[in-house]
Amino acid sequence: MGRRLPRRKKLIKTAALRARARTVTHDQTVDESIFDDVAFAKAGLELAERQAGYGAWFWSLPTNSFYMTPNACAVLGVEEGISEFDSIMAAIHEDDREEVTNKVRLHLDSRENYDLACRIRRPDGEVRWIRARGHVSTDAAGEPVMFAGSIEDTTYQVETLNELQRSEMRFRSLIDSAPFPVVITRPSDKTLRYVNQRAVELLDELGKPADTLSVPDLMADKATYEKLREQLLTKGTSDNFELALRRSDGTPLWLLIKGLIIDYEGEPCAYLILLDVTERRELEQQLRTQATSDPLTGVANRTELLSQLEFAISVSNRTDEGFALLLLDLDNFKMVNDTRGHSVGDKLLVETSNRLNSLLRTTDTVARIGGDEFAIIARHLDKTRGVTVLAQKIIDSLAAPFEIDGLTANVGCSIGIAHYPWDKGDPELLMQHADLALYRAKDEGRGCFHMFDEELSHAVHERMDLERDLRVAVETDQLFVMYQPRFDAETREPVAGEALARWKHPEKGLVSPGIFIPIAEETGLVIDLGRVVLDQVVSDIARWRELGLDVGPMSVNISPVHLAAGCVLEDVFGALKKYNVPAKCLQVEVTESTMITDEESASSQIKALADAGIHILIDDFGTGYSSLSYLHRFHAHELKIDRSFVSNVAEATSAILARQIVSIGKSLDLKIVAEGVETDAQADFMTAIGCDELQGFLLSKPIERPAFEELMRSKAERVAAVAKA
């Protein structure tokens, strides 16, 4: 059954096709066997197209017979039984028709397959998308004999694709206009695949053109970038990374980067968000600097020094390389500050830190840890030569005059040195060691340095042990009191006594007060110790009163630390009250130094004691700086001339001084006691110059209570015997 190409309204209008169609129509040589079993062919086609979801048509040119499968008719939305190729062309959407016509024509000319997508308009007006493919078969002479093809409704795929494109567009525009930089990179070759608008601006700031850039060019901090890349490749996502870059104007730029692996244009790429956190980093840095540096000089402060020490110790433990800690005290600073004013003092401190910095390496640390105290951590120095050379250099440098505001100031410094790992310990202990060495340096004279050594180390450990044991001692019964009698200078009879604390250490035996009193004062334990002594002494006085034994007044030593704590009155009156002892039975000894330090608080307490009838004795008189006005203000009743004058009376100067002290004391109506009398000559001399009482090993060493009682009892017997006679 032949079908002719459409006569009117021919949609395939090429002359060539018309000519060929004519030719084929008259060509009886065409093998028509292929149409022999049309029914079979139709059935096969229908089955195939149902399964593949498309419809087919074919047009035998020799017979001009056209057939379109029911599926193809369904795609076009037309009734089955269409018998013309033009019906297909008529269904093409009017806007696409011309283009499709051209394409089909082109394919027919070239005899190649065509494959195109276009819209159709169904009879009911519905527009749908189809994919149309076709093929022209030729005979042996190369003439077209069969034109066949398929149409497939692709509306769903096209719409899905369109939707996908639309959503990609939306995504793109979101990312494009994101207020933070986004870059997409390909981890395999580290190229930049995409940069959004903000990223372009960022790269501009960095002076790096986006189009020529690979990621390593962008990330100056390669190590961090590699870590980020590795995390992305292994986990598909990354932690927050912070990178430091530099803008083209030299200012720093801190980026916080978070990454994620996404599928970008069909391949796995890293999607990186870059946040500018420079402001936050700078604020953090500012806070860190404030917390770790000295505001005046800009060098490290104490906190930073301790953390640097901690770090230096850990490095030294790993590397076996030592470091030195130098503590440095300006020798004359206080005077400059007081006489020239604080602003000169401040400038001097700044200049000091500049001089120190100029002598040290960048790996070293300079810190200001107090008013005029500096500390240095000097790394990579050997203990003996390196450190001493450096210490001397510092001393020389600071000994040079300081020119400030047109004035010249001379200061100089002393240095104490601890060296790790020779001096083991934590930062605090190292500081203590260097501090002790500094004290030793000052003792040796200004402008010296001293290294913490074996001897100091031994002293420190011994002191630490004693401190620990003393804490136990004041709580237990290891402390007790001995009494040293005082004798009337003329009669040489015992007339009073001084209570002296003793410590019976469980292992070391008797420890001298010369050793434990300073420790007790430094640690504040002397307050507890003072209470123990007061309790013991006042309870003994009560006992002697009960026994009817006249021992005369008994003095106790009161530490300036105890007075400074402000609880002496409470403790003294508390003890007197507890044992019901009158105040006049007790005396207190205070040293000259008490009068100099914390004058107000000490003098008011001493006055209250004196007002209550307690005699005040100025101990070790002549060794301090006490003036006559002090003696008056402190309501002193007695002076105890220091042992150093007594033991040297053979020397003319000491004798003159002793004489002077006695005469001043006498003129102030004070009783005079000579301490530390060891020889008859001393006793006679002190008596001759007018001392009222003598105390010393010549007449009696400090003795325990029974011996003291025995001494006083036998004196009472002698007095009684004399009275009887």
156 binds, among ligand C2E, Mg ion, none (CB under 5 to 8 A by kind): none
328 binds, among ligand C2E, Mg ion, none (CB under 5 to 8 A by kind): none
Q: Which is nearer to ligand C2E, 376 or 526 (CB)?
A: 526
Q: Which is nearer to ligand C2E, 519 or 716 (CB)?
A: 519
Q: Which of 453, 429, 426 is nearest to 441 (CA)?
A: 453
Element housing 83 (H / E): none
Binding letters toward ligand C2E, positions 468-487, x by CB under 6 A:
----------------x---
Candidate list 304, 416, 676, 708; residue touching ligand C2E; CB under 6 A? 676
Q: Which is nearer to ligand C2E, 329 or 571 (CB)?
A: 571
513 binds, among Mg ion, ligand C2E, none (CB under 5 to 8 A by kind): ligand C2E
Please report, as residue ranges, which positions from 494 to 513 form the binding site for ligand C2E (by CB under 6 A).
500-501, 512-513
Q: Which is nearer to ligand C2E, 45 or 558 (CB)?
A: 558
Q: Which is nearer to ligand C2E, 206 or 525 (CB)?
A: 525
Pairing of strands 638-641, 671-674: parallel
Owner of token pair 């601890």: 418
The span from the first CA to the last CA of the chain, in angstroms, equals 180
How far apart are CB 589 and ligand C2E at their closest, in Å?
6
**Is the preceding omega at residue 181 within 30 degrees of 0, hence cis?**
no
How far apart are CB 383 and ligand C2E at their closest, in Å?
38
Rule CB under 6 A: say whether 406 interacts with ligand C2E. no
List C-alpha distances in Å: 387 to 111, 372, 392, 684, 714. 97, 21, 9, 57, 66
Provide long-range contacts, Cβ within 8 A and 24+ apart, for 83-87.
83/3, 84/3, 84/6, 85/5, 85/6, 85/11, 85/12, 85/57, 85/59, 85/147, 86/6, 86/9, 86/10, 86/11
Distance (Å, whole) CA 522 – CA 553: 30
Distance (Å, whole) CA 592 – CA 644: 15
Tell me which stretch binds ligand C2E (CB under 6 A): 182-190, 272-280, 327-335, 674-682: 674-682
Owner of token pair 């009250």: 577
Distance (Å, whole) CA 316 – CA 314: 5
* 41: three-class secondary structure by DSSP: helix
How far apart are CB 502 and ligand C2E at their closest, in Å?
7
Tell me which stretch binds Mg ion (CB under 5 A): 10-18, 111-119, 288-296, 583-591: 583-591
Rule CB under 5 A: say whether 589 interacts with Mg ion. yes
**Count of residues binding Mg ion (CB under 5 A)?**
5
How far apart are CB 509 and ligand C2E at their closest, in Å?
14
Tell me which stretch binds ligand C2E (CB under 6 A): 152-160, 191-199, 206-214, 694-702: 694-702
**Hey, what are 140's tokens?**
């042996």
Count of CB atoms within 10 A of residue 649's CB?
Answer: 22
Candidate list 619, 638, 693, 709; residue touching Mg ion; CB under 5 A? 619
696 binds, among ligand C2E, Mg ion, none (CB under 5 to 8 A by kind): ligand C2E
702 binds, among Mg ion, ligand C2E, none (CB under 5 to 8 A by kind): ligand C2E
Rule CB under 6 A: say whether 329 interacts with ligand C2E. no
Rule CB under 6 A: say whether 697 interacts with ligand C2E. yes
How far apart are CB 498 and Mg ion at their closest, in Å?
5
171 binds, among ligand C2E, Mg ion, none (CB under 5 to 8 A by kind): none
447: amino acid identity, one letter: G
How far apart are CB 556 and Mg ion at their closest, in Å?
9
Task: Reduce the secondary structure of 189-206 to three states and give it as a string.
Answer: CCEEEEECHHHHHHHHHC
Task: Write the burial class of residue 76 (CB in 10 Å: 0-12 exposed, 13-18 middle, 19+ buried).
Answer: buried
514 binds, among Mg ion, ligand C2E, none (CB under 5 to 8 A by kind): ligand C2E
683 binds, among Mg ion, ligand C2E, none (CB under 5 to 8 A by kind): none
Q: What is the DSSP letter of 179?
A: S
How far apart are CB 663 and ligand C2E at their closest, in Å?
22
Rule CB under 5 A: say whether 559 interacts with Mg ion. no
500 binds, among Mg ion, ligand C2E, none (CB under 5 to 8 A by kind): ligand C2E
671: amino acid identity, one letter: K
Rule CB under 6 A: say whether 322 interacts with ligand C2E. no
How far apart are CB 424 and ligand C2E at their closest, in Å?
34
Count helices and strands (H / E) in the chain.
27, 26
Q: If you write DSSP's letter for every residue of 223-265 in order, what string do you get? A: HHHHHHHHHHHHHSB---EEEEEE-TTS-EEEEEEEEEEEEET
**Count of residues binding ligand C2E (CB under 6 A)?**
24
Rule CB under 6 A: say whether 678 interacts with ligand C2E. yes
Q: Which is nearer to ligand C2E, 66 or 516 (CB)?
A: 516
List C-alpha distances in Å: 14 to 11, 50, 92, 106, 108. 9, 33, 18, 10, 9
Strand partners, 377: 325, 365
CA 15 from chain center: how many Å?
90
Distance (Å, whole) CA 192 – CA 189: 9
Rule CB under 6 A: say whether 619 interacts with ligand C2E. yes
Tell me which stretch binds Mg ion (CB under 5 A): 251-259, 272-280, 387-395, 551-559: 551-559
Rule CB under 6 A: say whether 680 interacts with ligand C2E. no
Q: If you write DSSP's letter for every residue of 389-400 in order, what string do you get? A: HHHHHHHHHHHS
Distance (Å, whole) CA 632 – CA 691: 20
Q: Which is nearer to ligand C2E, 421 or 513 (CB)?
A: 513
Element housing 587 (H / E): strand 586-591
How far apart are CB 640 and Mg ion at their closest, in Å?
5
Count of CB atoms within 10 A of residue 318's CB?
Answer: 8
Candidate list 64, 71, 185, 557; residue touching Mg ion; CB under 5 A? 557
Rule CB under 5 A: say whether 620 interacts with Mg ion. yes
Pairing of strands 127-138, 241-246: unpaired
Q: If you write DSSP's letter for every residue of 311-329 in order, what string do you get? A: HHHHHHHHH---EEEEEEE
Rule CB under 5 A: say whether 692 interacts with Mg ion. no
Rule CB under 6 A: say whether 311 interacts with ligand C2E. no
Pairing of strands 494-505, 554-557: parallel
Q: Which residues contact 552 (CB under 8 A, 6 or more apart)?
A: 486, 494, 495, 496, 497
Q: Which is nearer to ligand C2E, 587 or 695 (CB)?
A: 695
Please report, as residue ranges, which positions from 533 to 572 form the binding site for ligand C2E (by CB under 6 A).
533, 557-559
Residue pair 616/610 in contact (Cβ under 8 Å)? The answer is yes
Distance (Å, whole) CA 566 – CA 46: 116
How far apart are CB 443 and ligand C2E at their closest, in Å?
21
Rule CB under 6 A: say whether 638 interacts with ligand C2E. no
Candidate list 49, 372, 571, 620; residue touching ligand C2E; CB under 6 A? 620
Q: Which is nearer to ligand C2E, 366 or 617 (CB)?
A: 617
How far apart are CB 616 and ligand C2E at their closest, in Å?
14
322 binds, among ligand C2E, Mg ion, none (CB under 5 to 8 A by kind): none
Distance (Å, whole) CA 497 – CA 556: 9
Q: Which residues bind Mg ion (CB under 5 A)?
A: 557, 589, 619-620, 675
Q: Which residues bind ligand C2E (CB under 6 A)?
A: 484, 500-501, 512-514, 517, 526, 530, 533, 557-559, 589, 619-620, 675-678, 695-697, 702
